[in-house]
Chains A and B, each alone.
Chain A
Amino acid sequence: MISAVFYHMTDVIDFNPDFLAKSCGMANLTAFPDLAGGALIGVAVLILWLFAGRIAYVGGILGGLCEQFRGDMAWRLFFVAGLLLSPLVYRLLAPTRFELAVPSSPVLLVAAGFLVGFGASLADGEGGGRAWPSLRGLGLRAFVATIFVMVAAAVTVYFFRHLVRG
């Protein structure tokens, strides 16, 4: 019964964003797009921190948009707009198909979305998206949060893939 409700069905479609790796003659090195993608994320975080004094934590930036009567809505909206438009701009720069294998159980999607949104806000406190005077303390919080997120995610994946389904 549980497995019927939570059955994690995916339809796998072709997904090939590795144009950059190929154009650099590095198609066989699978770590390349991952490293380069990570570096881009690092650049984005740096830009927002150095030129706007904000932490690029998407959960916190979105969470701030859910609050009323805030004075700092504009930059949040524009960050989210950039993120939203990124696949379209990316496709203009390089023809790419972004068709993905996505989970398709609505119950699972709603439950997971709610947990991610609530958890991000609860953990965030006053950190994400806010202006910070320095990074002191934030690094430790982010590190500890990351450890707990990873352990919980690994246990959850194990539960759904190997216990419920298997």
Chain B
Amino acid sequence: MLSIPVAFISGLIFGFGLLLSRMIDPVKVQNFFDLTGNWDANLAFVAIGAIAVAALGFRLGGRPRKAERFPVPARASIDPPLVGGAVLFGIGLGMTGYFPGSAVASLLLGRSETGIFVLAMIGGMAFYRLLKSGAS
């Protein structure tokens, strides 16, 4: 059960990254997308930092240490659900500036607005699964 402490530590460090880079600030996130207005390009540095570290690690580290049988991925190509989902996600992101991760990481800071967003987000995820189970 190595995956449990690993997952906890990963979640914790992920949160530290969001906090330190201020990605948990919805207005900062919106400013990144506000190209014609109050543009704040600093969020690009977050992406550069994350991609640099992850890419280097993937290259050096290779495959996971854990000898586990992995399920074969069902989809590995570009398809309409990927594009449609990304567009809906982007519209929601632009409306409030919350990512799923940043909303969860700021939930215990006690703003009711964050709680409303997180509940609605879980509702959206549950609704997708309801549709999927109804369709199959």
Contact = CB atoms under 8 A, between A and B. Distances in A.
A133 B73 contact: yes
- Majority SS at the chain A contact face: helix
A119 B63 CA distance: 29
Nearest to A67: B129
A111 B95 contact: yes
A38 B47 contact: yes
A76 B54 CA distance: 20
- Majority SS at the chain B contact face: helix
Contact of B66 (A37, A39, A52, A80): A52
Contacts of A79: 7-8, 10-11, 14
B82 A125 contact: yes
A100 B17 contact: no
B89 A37 contact: no
Given A74-B3, A109-B117, 16 more contacts: A10-B27, A38-B53, A39-B50, A53-B64, A75-B7, A78-B4, A79-B11, A85-B108, A86-B11, A102-B113, A103-B26, A112-B96, A113-B121, A117-B128, A141-B78, A157-B94
B108 A39 contact: no
Interface in B18-59: 18-27, 30, 33-37, 42-43, 45-54, 57-58
Interface in B86-134: 86-101, 103-109, 111, 113-114, 116-129
